[in-house]
Amino acid sequence: MNSVSSNEEKTDIYSKEVLISREEINSRVEQLGREISQDYQGRELHLVGVLNGAFMFLADLVRHLSIPCQICFMQASSYKDQQVSTGEVILMHNLDLSGKNVLVVEDIFDTGLTLKHIREDLNMQKPASLEICALLNKRIPDKVAVDVKYIGFEIEDRFVVGYGLDYAEKYRELPHISCLD
C-alpha cells in the first residue's frame, strides 16, 4: 500500500490559473521562428536546447525556422526539485561549437545564473556567434545581467509549469503555462 502525504501530489493542476494559453504560445513561437530565420538568413544555425525544460519549445521553434540548422542539447540544473534556485549550476554536455553560429534555447530566464554559466561555458569554445532565446523572461529584482536576444513572453515573479517547465519533474506535458503558486 502506497500512502500519499505531500501537498504537491494532491495538487489539481487543471484548477490552476492558465497564464499563457496554447494558442498564445503557438503564435509567439511562430513569430520567433520568422524573426530568427530572418536574422540568420544565409547561415547555418546550431540550436542548443537546455534540457529538460526547453525540449517542447525547441521542437516547436525549429519547425518554424526556414534556415538550415542543427540541433543539440545540454543539461543545466540549479533547482533540484525546489521552487527557488539553489544558486549552484551544474552543466553537462559534449558540444563542439567552435566557429559556429549558436543559439541557446532556454525555457525560462529567471535569476540569470544558469544562462550566465551557459554563456561563459559555450564562449570558451569560440563560436562565430552566440545568442540566447528564452520562452519566458521572469521579472525579478537583482537578476544576473545576461543579454537574451529573443524573448517569448515577459511574466511576473510566479512559479510556472507546463510546456516543458516542471516542478519536481511533473507538469511538463501541459500544452500551456500555468501558475503553481
- Rounded to whole angstroms, the Cα distance separating 176 from 6 reads 24
Q: Which residues have a Cβ under 8 Å from the Cβ of 152 and sit 6 or more positions away? A: 25, 28, 29, 32, 57, 133, 134, 135, 136, 137
Q: The CATH number of 23-158 is which of 3.40.50.2300, 3.40.50.1860, 3.40.50.2020, 3.40.640.10?
A: 3.40.50.2020
Virtual torsion, Cα 21, 24, 26, 30, nearest 10 deg: -160
What pLDDT was estimated at residue 148? 97
What pLDDT was estimated at residue 93? 84
Q: What grid cell was written down for 78?
A: 540549479
- Rounded to whole angstroms, the Cα distance separating 48 from 73 reads 5
Nearest alpha-carbon partner for 174 in 8, 11, 10, 18: 18
| Amino acid symbol at 69 | C
| Phi and psi at residue 113, to the nearest 5° | -60, -50
Query: Domain extents for the chain?
Result: 23-158
Q: How many CB atoms lie within 10 A of CB 173?
A: 12
What pLDDT was estimated at residue 1? 38
What pLDDT was estimated at residue 6? 44
Catalytic residue list contains 60: no
- Rounded to whole angstroms, the Cα distance separating 9 from 155 reads 26
What pLDDT was estimated at residue 124? 94
Q: Which one of 12, 81, 96, 110 is the catalytic residue?
A: 110
- Rounded to whole angstroms, the Cα distance separating 77 from 117 reads 11
Radius of gyration of the chain (CA): 17
What pLDDT was estimated at residue 79? 54
What pLDDT was estimated at residue 97? 95
Residues of the chain under the 50 pLDDT cut: 1-8
Nearest alpha-carbon partner for 155 in 18, 7, 26, 33: 18
What pLDDT was estimated at residue 48? 97
